[in-house]
């Protein structure tokens, strides 16, 4: 793979079997994500998006095909994950949650504290290091989850509907914070969302998947500049792209519903 490619999936399929029942979640998926690129995946429920992310994270083995992640530094973790439900350790303070990854890699306590405080500051949580998860709102917990993933300094950040459980206003604000993080440090990101406007607002490319078995149906290149801001949402180009993606997605969502049956 070329130097700037961070993740390379080639002909990846994944079939799950439980007893005599087999489910093919993904079929022949090939995808490259370049260094510093932000790629979103949209597709109907059950089309294999989370499975794809788990394959990249090494939590599943592909049934066929290959998944490769290029390492840029020895010892650098390959992936860090942000989930829809924050999944913080309730018995640890916010700072200790964020320090957990670096401490696990044997980073000194002092350095890990610095890393945690820096990432919490980036997400507007500088004052909340000593709080415990139950003392935070849903949006704050998601921000801690993002800070925790960033603190791992991984080759690629995997985000599975990170804003999916939030109200619309909080979600809009967090989209803007994620865009700012991109602008500051250009992490490589694979991002799953059901919200088309979110995918168009944040991404370099949007990958549209088909109903199960999930295949890549279309890849939409967006050429908005990285310096975009909230005003992008009000433009004609933004509306036209979002509408175009929805027209393709609508067929797949209907196909997925038919699979589920009456």
Binding positions for ligand ATP, rule: CB under 6 A: 16, 18, 23, 25, 43, 45-51, 212
- Closest approach of Cβ 50 to Mg ion, in Å? 3
Indicate the residue among 9 and 112 with the shorter CB distance to ligand ATP.
9
C-alpha torsion angle, residues 162, 199, 189, 43 (rounded to 10): 80
- Closest approach of Cβ 33 to ligand ATP, in Å? 18
- Closest approach of Cβ 14 to Mg ion, in Å? 13
Partner whose footprint covers residue 178, from Mg ion, ligand ATP, none (CB < 5 to 8 Å by kind): none
Indicate the residue among 51 and 93 with the shorter CB distance to ligand ATP.
51
User: Rounded to the nearest 10 degrees, what angle do helices 138-151 and 94-104 cross at?
Assistant: 20
- For residues 201 and 237, the answer to whether their CB atoms sit within 8 Å is no
Indicate the residue among 21 and 236 with the shorter CB distance to ligand ATP.
21
Residue number of the CB closest to Mg ion reads 50
Which of 26, 27, 33, 50 binds Mg ion (CB under 5 A)? It is 50
Applying CB under 5 A, the span of 49-57, 72-80, 97-105, 124-132 interacting with Mg ion comes to: 49-57
**Phi, psi (degrees; rounded to nearest 5) at 87:** 55, 45
**Phi, psi (degrees; rounded to nearest 5) at 132:** -110, 155
Partner whose footprint covers residue 48, from ligand ATP, Mg ion, none (CB < 5 to 8 Å by kind): ligand ATP
Smallest CA-to-CA distance from 209 within 252, 171, 241, 179 is with 252
- Closest approach of Cβ 45 to Mg ion, in Å? 7
Q: In terms of residues, how long is the chain?
A: 262
170-229 binders of Mg ion (CB under 5 A): none
Indicate the residue among 85 and 176 with the shorter CB distance to ligand ATP.
85
Residue the block writes with tokens 């979002």 = 242
Applying CB under 5 A, the span of 2-10, 43-51, 207-215, 234-242 interacting with Mg ion comes to: 43-51
- Closest approach of Cβ 84 to ligand ATP, in Å? 8
DSSP characters over 133-183: GGGS-HHHHHHHHHHHHHHT--SEEEEESTTTTS-HHHHHHHHHHHHHHHH
Q: How many CB atoms lie within 10 A of CB 2?
A: 9
Indicate the residue among 56 and 136 with the shorter CB distance to ligand ATP.
56
Partner whose footprint covers residue 212, from Mg ion, ligand ATP, none (CB < 5 to 8 Å by kind): ligand ATP
Residue 6, H or E segment: strand 5-18
Q: Residue 197 corresponds to which tokens in the numbers above?
A: 């406007």
């Amino acid at each position: 793979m070329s130097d700037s490619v961070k993740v390379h999936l080639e002909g990846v399929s994944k079939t799950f079997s439980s007893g005599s029942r087999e489910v093919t979640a993904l079929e022949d998926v090939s995808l490259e994500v370049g260094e510093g690129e932000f790629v979103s995946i949209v597709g109907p429920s059950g089309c294999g998006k989370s499975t794809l992310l788990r394959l990249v994270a090494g939590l599943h083995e592909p049934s066929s095909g290959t998944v490769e992640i290029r390492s840029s530094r020895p010892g650098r973790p390959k992936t860090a994950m942000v989930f829809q439900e924050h999944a913080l350790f309730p018995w640890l303070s916010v700072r200790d949650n964020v320090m957990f990854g670096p401490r696990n890699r044997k980073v000194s306590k002092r350095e890990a504290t610095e890393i945690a405080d820096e990432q919490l500051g980036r997400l507007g949580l500088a004052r909340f290091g000593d709080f415990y998860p139950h003392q935070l709102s849903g949006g704050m917990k998601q921000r801690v989850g993002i800070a925790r993933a960033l603190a791992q300094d991984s080759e690629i950040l995997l985000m599975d509907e990170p804003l999916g459980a939030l109200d619309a206003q909080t979600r809009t604000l967090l989209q803007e914070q994620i865009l700012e993080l991109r602008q500051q440090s250009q992490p490589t990101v694979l991002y799953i969302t059901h919200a088309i406007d979110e995918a168009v607002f944040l991404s370099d490319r949007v990958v549209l998947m088909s109903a199960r078995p999930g295949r890549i149906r279309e890849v939409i290149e967006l050429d908005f500049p990285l310096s975009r801001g909230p005003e992008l949402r009000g433009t004609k180009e933004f509306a036209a792209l979002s509408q175009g993606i929805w027209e393709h997605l609508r067929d797949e969502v209907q196909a997925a519903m038919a699979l589920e049956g009456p």
